[in-house]
Structure 1
Amino acid sequence: MAPQVSPGHRKAWTRSTYRGIENLLFPSFGPDLQTLDEDAIRRDVRFAIANGCFSTLFASLGHPVDVAIRALEVACEEASDQILVGTFTEYATVEDNLALVKGAAAVGCSHMLIMYPPAMTPKSEDEVYTYLHNLIAATDIGIVLYAAPHKGIAKFSSSPSGVALDVLDKLAGLPTVSGQKLTQTIDPILARECCVRFGDRLTINCVAPELMPLLGREFDLQWSGEWSIEGVQSPDKPFLGRYVGLIAKKDFEAAEALYWKFYPAYKLFSDFQIPKLKIGSHPWQHLKYYQWLTGGNGGLASVKGQTPEQIGILTAADRQAIRQTFKSIGVKITNALDDEFIVGVENARRGVKASEFLDRPYYE
């Protein structure tokens, strides 16, 4: 369960607490790809702790809100006081997102990444502000803003970047708004502008390792999160955790030397990730595979409301490339066959076979 933090202390608490790395937590299921595997959720929370994460952020992958809230409840129970648990407003309707915000607070989450739904087309920045403000006002947990372009906002945004920076600026003054996420594909000039505008009020969360030495020379960076950090590290080789620590201490020479050690893995990860980010999605099956290889539960990603074109297909060639790249940088990976990934470690322990998974979305 997250510590009780009053709204007036949220910004200061976030700055003192959100240090290091934060990974993503995905749901795992039985052979029907609908029945939540709660043991798998618990295993992946322990895996995040083993990776040195200060927090794990749950992504429901479009499954119903009640499934997401139950998964968050299990995660918070397993996390106890060892790691924070957050989530994000990924649903298409305000009703679902409000239900998620309230449910997440009730079960013990510490924070929420909020964003304007990609499928919605607002008529003004005031409409965007009202939507996001209503979500923020529905809870006292910490709020992380997301500096990502939105096609529907770009036509009237005061910023050529397509990000509603003036809206984010107003929201940043609210007491529970305490973080700002700079995603992997962010334009470097926009990233710096966000640091200038928000860095004194919000704790900056920089996803892209390649930007951290550049921004870190001018601003304080201490957090890289809400992404699949397992793409570049494992519990036995915590490259990213060490890297972020060096950036926070402003030891850029050591950080840059370390960057090149995990760069081959980061390059491959980015090759899978960036094309999907640019169309508003993620290669979810690949991300689950990364986690499984390095000690997580695995299990096929079941994603609601997105097409194979949006997510991509995890092919045998992709799996082999990931394995080989990990070996090249000294990351230990499982010796299990990919059939265990299909079912997930906890299902495999219960005797579930890959042949029981008749539907294998985004996998070949």
Structure 2
Amino acid sequence: MPAYTKEESKDWAREKMRGVCNVLMPSFSNDLSKLNEEAIRHDVRKCKEYGFWGTLAVSECGTTMEEYLRFVEIAKDEGGEDFHLVVHGSFDTMEETIKAGKAGAAAGASLLLMSYPPTFYPTSEREVYDYSTKVMDEVPLATVLFSVGHWNFARLHPAELSPRLVAELADHPRAVALKCEGGLGNGAHADVLRLCGDKLLISDPREATAPGHVQWFGMQWMGTSVFQYYGDAVPKYFDLMHQGKWDEAMEIYWRLQPARTARQADTASYSGAHFIHRQSWKYMEWLAGFNGGRLRMPTMRLNDGATRRLAEGAVRAGIIDEAPAPGLNEFFLGRNPM
């Protein structure tokens, strides 16, 4: 169970949530019939080596419920007490989300990332509030709220979760942070900081915005995304910013621009799908030493042109010395084949 009570959640977050939180995707056997435990452990060790505060155990890669819970157990066991695990609350139903959250808490996870089922179609903000509070009431984990276009909530408010709704949810004792990707520009950030910045840690996972957010409102925790594409660079520059070593931090930040541009172009290629290209993320992290490997359907396909551009961006950013040989067979096999 978590190292804090329900009433201690916000204080725990202010004290302990400091750093960068990446994502951990499951790895499977080469025939996709089962989890590849050694590959998962390899990736957790790599997360720790690169200096990440913790990681989100992604639930959108084709695992069954039983496999997802085992994935969480493996990741927590390998990560140990000094590495924070976040349960991904993205399932078909609220009941499944609550089940996974409770099991994750029992396994030692630190947080829940709030998400909403693809078939959840609220007609009012009150329905979003009721769903969110029900999950937080039932799951004994501090919770990161999440505003993003995937939810199709812009029809309720342009910020995807309206700042007023976020402020209401912030009163819940288990609401500790907001992963803020909603709306255009920085209006959502400014509004939620004004309304409830004393109750929630505000985070923007689009790492290109990190310098402004750290400098202007002291963003102390950034998550969650595939920051490992950049190797150890993001945790390193984030820490330097908080130490006030801005010249060193920005030297690293600007060095990443070719890879950042390649990743943004890749994201733009599927932005209308409202579905993250996890297989592409798996390829990005493989470039930086993670296991790689196949994911189950539903998943988007990789193509040689897109992966070549990601590899070339990593080379130009100094993340890797040279691009891998053409083709995807080595990636699909993974570093720990099973």
TM-score, shorter chain, exceeding 0.5: yes
In structure 2, runs of 5+ residues without a counterpart are none
**Letter paired with 2:240:** L
* Kept in 2: contact 1:188–1:211 (CA 8 A): no
Taking every aligned residue pair, what percent have the same amino acid on both sides?
Answer: 26
Indicate the residue corresponding to 2:83 in structure 1: 83
Indicate the residue corresponding to 2:33 in structure 1: 34
TM-superposed CA distance for 1:152, in Å, is 4.8
Indicate the residue corresponding to 2:58 in structure 1: 59
Between the aligned partners of 2:321 and 2:223, the Cα distance in structure 1 is 22
| Secondary structure, aligned partner of 1:346 | coil
* Kept in 1: contact 2:147–2:182 (CA 8 A): no
**Letter paired with 2:302:** L
| Secondary structure, aligned partner of 1:345 | coil
Q: 1:325 to 1:242 in 2, by over 3 A?
A: same
TM-superposed CA distance for 1:249, in Å, is 4.1
* Kept in 2: contact 1:150–1:163 (CA 8 A): no
Between the aligned partners of 1:161 and 1:266, the Cα distance in structure 2 is 24
Between the aligned partners of 1:8 and 1:110, the Cα distance in structure 2 is 15
Deviations 1:131-183 (A, max 9, x none): 1111111122110000224665333x3x4333233332211111121111123
* Kept in 1: contact 2:20–2:222 (CA 8 A): yes
TM-superposed CA distance for 1:111, in Å, is 0.4
* Kept in 1: contact 2:182–2:188 (CA 8 A): no
Indicate the residue corresponding to 1:203 in structure 2: 201
Between the aligned partners of 2:26 and 2:154, the Cα distance in structure 1 is 33
Indicate the residue corresponding to 1:229 in structure 2: 227
TM-superposed CA distance for 1:113, in Å, is 0.5
Between the aligned partners of 1:185 and 1:250, the Cα distance in structure 2 is 30
Indicate the residue corresponding to 1:359 in structure 2: none
Q: Structure 1 length as normaliser, TM-score?
A: 0.84
2:124 counterpart of 1:130: no
TM-superposed CA distance for 1:334, in Å, is 8.1
**Letter paired with 1:266:** R
Between the aligned partners of 2:317 and 2:160, the Cα distance in structure 1 is 37
Deviations 1:159-213 (A, max 9, x none): 4333233332211111121111123985322232233233211122221233233
Between the aligned partners of 1:149 and 1:324, the Cα distance in structure 2 is 29
Q: 1:215 to 1:226 in 2, by over 3 A?
A: closer
* Kept in 2: contact 1:118–1:280 (CA 8 A): no
Q: 1:193 to 1:210 in 2, by over 3 A?
A: farther
TM-superposed CA distance for 1:278, in Å, is 4.7
Indicate the residue corresponding to 2:235 in structure 1: 241
Between the aligned partners of 1:184 and 1:210, the Cα distance in structure 2 is 16
Between the aligned partners of 1:192 and 1:214, the Cα distance in structure 2 is 12
**Letter paired with 1:71:** F
2:261 counterpart of 1:267: yes
Indicate the residue corresponding to 1:341 in structure 2: 331
Between the aligned partners of 1:39 and 1:327, the Cα distance in structure 2 is 28
Aligned length: 335
**Letter paired with 1:194:** V
TM-superposed CA distance for 1:254, in Å, is 4.8
Indicate the residue corresponding to 1:276 in structure 2: 270
Q: Structure 2 length as normaliser, TM-score?
A: 0.90
**Letter paired with 1:279:** A
Indicate the residue corresponding to 1:328 in structure 2: 316
Q: 1:190 to 1:211 in 2, by over 3 A?
A: same
TM-superposed CA distance for 1:277, in Å, is 4.4
TM-superposed CA distance for 1:332, in Å, is 2.7
Deviations 1:269-290 (A, max 9, x none): 1111244345321121111111
Matched ranges for 1:74-153 at <5 A? 74-149=74-149, 152-153=152-153
**Letter paired with 2:293:** G
* Kept in 2: contact 1:323–1:333 (CA 8 A): no
**Letter paired with 2:208:** E
Between the aligned partners of 1:334 and 1:303, the Cα distance in structure 2 is 30
Between the aligned partners of 2:158 and 2:183, the Cα distance in structure 1 is 16
**Letter paired with 1:258:** I
TM-superposed CA distance for 1:220, in Å, is 1.6
Between the aligned partners of 2:188 and 2:121, the Cα distance in structure 1 is 22
Indicate the residue corresponding to 1:300 in structure 2: 294
Identify which of structures 1 and 2 has the higher relative contact order when contacts are C-alpha pairs closer than 8 Å and 6+ apart: 2
TM-superposed CA distance for 1:316, in Å, is 1.7
Deviations 1:331-352 (A, max 9, x none): 23688764332122111xxxx5
